[in-house]
Chains A and B, each alone.
Chain A
Amino acid sequence: MFQWTQKWVFALLSCLGMQNALAESTVNMPYGVTRMSHDIYNLHMITFYICCGIGVVVFSVLFYSIYKYRRSRGAKAANFHEHPGVEIIWTLIPFLILVGLAIPATIVLKDIHNTNESDLIIKITGYQWKWKYEYLDQGISFFSNLATPQIQIDDPQKTKNEWFLLEVDNPMVIPVHKKVKILLTSNDVIHDWWLPAFGVKQDAIPGYINENWIQVDTPGIYRGQCGELCGAYHGFMPIVVQVVPEEEFEQWVAAHMLNKTAVSNGRKAT
């Protein structure tokens, strides 16, 4: 029943033609590459269009009145000043519109909380000012630092990289089509892991472990930033996620394991 309602609501939203309208532009929320980001995008657009509709009605009446009822055009003030009927109408109609908005919002929100049945678990820890990714089942763990050279930040004359401030040394790597559960916490102050293309934003709070999930259908490189002020270099701890086919992910894991073994062997040797 729940699933059915959900499908129906989103089929309806998609029919309204708001899907992908302004995707990938720099003036709107990205349509993204996950079901979650699509759902959020559709909610965002339907709310936006409803607001536009109400705006058109209210501003039309306002601008018509400004044009029509000016003293310089000989207008004389009318005498009415109350009408309980219209008050009730313009209380009820917005209320009903809001109920209509609340239904899909409730459904999507439930989906955000559904972190069950994940294929992979990654623990993400915020540090001032970098991210640490730990693949709990694979035993892989590494830090991800800003890769933009400092000189490009300090010197306005220097040519900047294409992904200025959105590039890291070690990106998080996840397999395509797999449900990845992320666990978020922090080592110091509150950070926030935000990746717009996935429709995911979740605070990393010291003493807490927050959950969210990602399931990407298109391989590629996706970028985001810290979303909560965390000190002087809040703007300099980007998030880069590389989504790869499953075989490639297995190879990446194997390479990391090998690397780790090599490192620990090396330690033993010395």
Chain B
Amino acid sequence: MNLTDDMATAHDHADHGPAKGLKRWLFTTNHKDIGTLYLLLSLTMFFVAGIMALVVRIELFEPGKVWVTPEFFNQMTTLHGLIMVFGVIMPAMAGFANWMIPMMVGAPDMALPRLNNWSFWLLPFAFLLLSLPLLRELVGMASHLIGLNLFAGAGAAPDYGWTFYAPLSTTYGPDSTDYMIFAIHMMGISSILAAINIVVTIFNMRAPGMTWMRLPMFVWGWLVTAFLLLAVMPVLAGCVTMMLMDRHFHTAFFEAAGGGDPILFQHIFWFFGHPEVYILILPGFGIISEVVQTFSRKRLFGYSFMVAATITIAFLGYIVWMHHMFTTGAPYAAQLFFMYATMLIAVPTGVKVFNWVTTIFKGELTFETPMLFALGFLVMFTIGGFSGVMLAIAPADYQYRGSYFVVAHFHYVLVSGSLFAIFAGVYFWLPKWTGHMYNETLGKWHFWLSAISMNLTFFPMHFVGLAGMPRRIPDYALQFTNFNQIATVGAVIFGLSQLLFLAIVIRSCQKHKAGVNEHLPDNVWDGGRSLEWTRLPTPVPYHTFETVPEIGPNDTH
């Protein structure tokens, strides 16, 4: 392609910007639009699943029935978990991938733009399908109040926890389980297509000179995540298909009475489920690496070791699934293998934390909201990592398993881990995307309220868990009352603080839409090292890198 051709295409594209109205969003193949769609879906589902968490927490405010039945309580915990994992964290990370990966590798768009459109648009329908039984139930309840009996006897929404263990979800599951099965199939297809797109983009669309060891850590994190997704989403699809067969086609994969094996379910589920937790956190690690080095005005310490650690974590992530099943009657030898492998994960994770801390050491720090969330991540994710090491010790795990200690652990790594990384990413890139600087004071309020209330909510769960409170119970013995009340108060504050986040994001989008230009510098945080800061204007135009950039040694991460 010669220069004239290139200019001509650029001119052509500039002429027709985004289409107007609904069509723009339905038919878009633009990576930035699709990224925005993912993030909007994630934001919406965040509040939906957040309200479910509040229903759970309010029911647990004191012993005895507070306001919902045990049946409805279980539906809330189940849908809260499923939606937060598949509908909030994963789409948010996919949103960042779509927005940032092409810009970070110097590509004009994702490699497979039409596929990209499809992988997003599967998701809203998947979550509609997942939520239908609950909506049906809520409409039924409401109609009952006004004397109608709509959907009478329609049965419950999924109510067996986000891990949907057989036979509770198969032989004993409500009819709505089939909705969940097909919803998971759709989410799985969406994730697999997105992962293919990301792998192909990173392998084939890197600008000349953008060598593997010059890729930003966020891109590395997502590349490894995409391979994890490709390997384990089909396993989950197989798992739910076997459930479907057991429920309707007289197979007995998981039914002991028919010669099947309920533990097989757990093996298959956790073969997906454990890599899944790294799918939720590795892109977050990437975001944190970008934010920490930017606000330290210093190159990321130990880049090549960070890359190696990410790959090692992913590899180990494949071979530890049975640590979720230590009390299922696993043989001694198997328990030993999975205990040792699980403990090993602490090594590369430790390397990452040490490298982040060393990046901050002797830097030139400023503390805008993205950095605050990254520092919050560093401290609290590490606490979640500590309880992770404790859980890895198999004999002690016999006591932690199924208790609130586990709930505390995974909320420390998912809320103050993945979610804080997402917040850090949004505050970090929002000015670049919209050309509008969010309100820093409000952002700081959002951070401090979230960080304090998050600890108020989840720290006491360590205590009640160790003292013997099982998870997933709607009612509890008297000695657990105090800590549960603290947790509920924390959860309400955490929920309300997220309205600040909503307000901040809406304000930025409004200003962007109104075309307010604040003339922010290209390198908004004066420490950004990747291409979106060094080679692109703020706000970033609808089409970027229509001419292929040349990457040199000065463009290092």
The answer to whether A102 and B343 have CB atoms under 8 Å apart is: yes
* Cβ distance B337 to chain A, nearest Cβ, rounded Å: 11
Q: Hey, which chain B residues are within 8 Å of A83, CB to CB?
A: 301-302
Known: A201-B402, A206-B167. Contact between A55 and B382, CB under 8 A? yes
Given A69-B362, A75-B364, A95-B347, CB of A190 within 8 Å of CB of B329:
no
Are the CB atoms of B477 and A163 closer together than 8 Å?
Answer: yes
One of B89-97, B138-146, B388-396, B446-454 at the interface = B388-396
**Which of chain B's residues 146-176 have a Cβ closer than 8 Å to chain A?**
159-161, 165, 167-168, 171-172
> Do A109 and B168 touch across chains, with their CB atoms under 8 A apart?
no
A231-B357 in contact given A101-B343, A156-B64 (Cβ < 8 Å): no
Do the beta carbons of A77 and B467 come within 8 Å of each other? no
C-alpha gap A231/B402 in the complex (Å): 14
Say whether, besides A102-B339, A231-B172, A164 and B477 are in contact (CB < 8 Å). yes
Task: Work out how many contacts link A and B, with CB atoms closer than 8 A.
Answer: 285
Q: Does A140 contact B (CB under 8 A)?
A: no
Range, interface on chain A = 35 or more
Establish whether residues B477 and A90, one from each chain, have CB atoms under 8 Å apart when the complex forms: no
Mark contacts of B310-336 with chain A using CB atoms, 8 A cut-off: 1 yes-contact digit, 0 otherwise: 000000000000000001110010011
Alpha-carbon separation in the docked complex, A234 to B346 (Å): 33
Contacting residues, chain A, for B382 (C-beta < 8 A): 55, 58-59
* Interface residues, chain B, with chain A CB atoms under 8 Å away: 62-66, 69-71, 74, 159-161, 165, 167-168, 171-172, 256-257, 260-263, 296-305, 327-329, 332, 335-336, 339-340, 343-344, 346-347, 350-351, 353-355, 357-367, 375, 378-379, 382-383, 386, 389-390, 393-396, 398-399, 401-403, 463-464, 466-468, 470-480, 483
Complex interface: chain B residues within 8 A of A227 (CB)? 327, 401-403, 470
Is A158 within 8 A of B64, CB to CB?
Answer: yes
A59 to B172, CA, bound (A): 48
In addition to A43-B393, A201-B402, A229-B74, 6 A-B residue pairs with Cβ atoms within 8 Å of each other are A28-B466, A43-B396, A51-B390, A58-B353, A194-B470, A206-B167
| Chain A minimum-CB-distance residue to B360 | A65
Task: Enumerate chain B residues within 8 angstroms of A78, measured Cβ to Cβ.
Answer: 298, 362-363
Tell me if A165 and B168 are in contact (CB < 8 A): no
**Which A residues are CB-close (under 8 A) to B161?**
229
Asked if residues A91 and B396 are in contact (CB atoms below 8 Å), the reply is no
A207-B262 in contact (CB<8A): yes
Smallest beta-carbon distance B472→chain A, Å: 4
| Interface stretch (choices A7-15, A147-155, A173-181, A258-266) | A147-155
Please, how many angstroms separate the alpha-carbon atoms of A188 and B328 in the complex?
Answer: 15
CB distance from B23 to the nearest CB of A (A): 45
Contacts of B299 in A (CB 8 A): 81
Measured between alpha carbons, how far is A162 from B300 in the docked complex, in Å? 56
CA gap between A231 and B474 in the complex, in Å: 11
Residues of B within 8 A of A106 (CB): 336, 339
B256 closest partner in A (C-beta): A207
With both chains docked as a complex, state the minimum distance between the C-beta of B75 and any C-beta of chain A, in angstroms.
10
Supposing A59-B379, A155-B64 touch, asked if A229 and B165 sit within 8 A by C-beta, the answer is: yes
Which chain A residues border B364 with CB–CB below 8 Å?
Answer: 69-71, 75-77
Q: List 28 A-B contacts (CB under 8 A).
A: A29-B466, A30-B467, A40-B396, A44-B393, A59-B382, A62-B375, A69-B365, A71-B366, A81-B298, A81-B300, A98-B347, A105-B393, A109-B332, A109-B394, A162-B478, A192-B402, A194-B470, A203-B329, A205-B329, A207-B256, A207-B261, A211-B329, A227-B470, A231-B172, A232-B74, A234-B470, A234-B473, A235-B476
**How many angstroms between the C-alpha atoms of A164 and B475 in the bound complex?**
10
Is there an interface contact between A153 and B65, defined as CB atoms closer than 8 Å?
yes
**Which B residues are in CB contact (< 8 Å) with A58?**
353-354, 357, 382
By Cβ-Cβ distance, the 9 closest A-B pairs, closest first, are A207-B256, A235-B473, A227-B402, A210-B329, A51-B386, A81-B299, A78-B362, A77-B364, A108-B395
